[in-house]
Amino acid sequence: MRVHIDQDKCCGAGSCVLSAPEVFDQREEDGIVLLLDAEPPAALHDAVHEAAAICPAAAITVEGAERV
């Protein structure tokens, strides 16, 4: 799995951080998403897929490790 974020799309909702705090964080000054782990371990794949699915700005894309 490879995770990509588009900080220009991010609206700072923080739902990604709630879903996968090991993978995502937010900048303190404006809440924009920060990617902590672009290739998270398999144990976090479901949480990352969830974060991408619920992102209101569609700022997260995931490639590989399709959800089953």
pTM of the model: 0.92
Give dist(CA 64, CA 68) in Å, integer. Answer: 12
In a domain, 68, yes or no: no
Q: What is the pLDDT of residues 36-56, one digit of tens each?
A: 999 999 999 999 999 999 999
45: CATH: 3.30.70.20
Q: Are 13 and 56 in contact (CB under 8 A)?
A: yes
pLDDT of residue 31: 96
pLDDT of residue 5: 98
In a domain, 26, yes or no: yes
In a domain, 21, yes or no: yes
Measured CA distances, 54 to 17, 29 (Å): 11, 23
In a domain, 59, yes or no: yes
In a domain, 34, yes or no: yes
**Number of folded domains in the chain?**
1
What domain range includes position 12?
Answer: 2-63
Q: Are 68 and 44 in contact (CB under 8 A)?
A: no
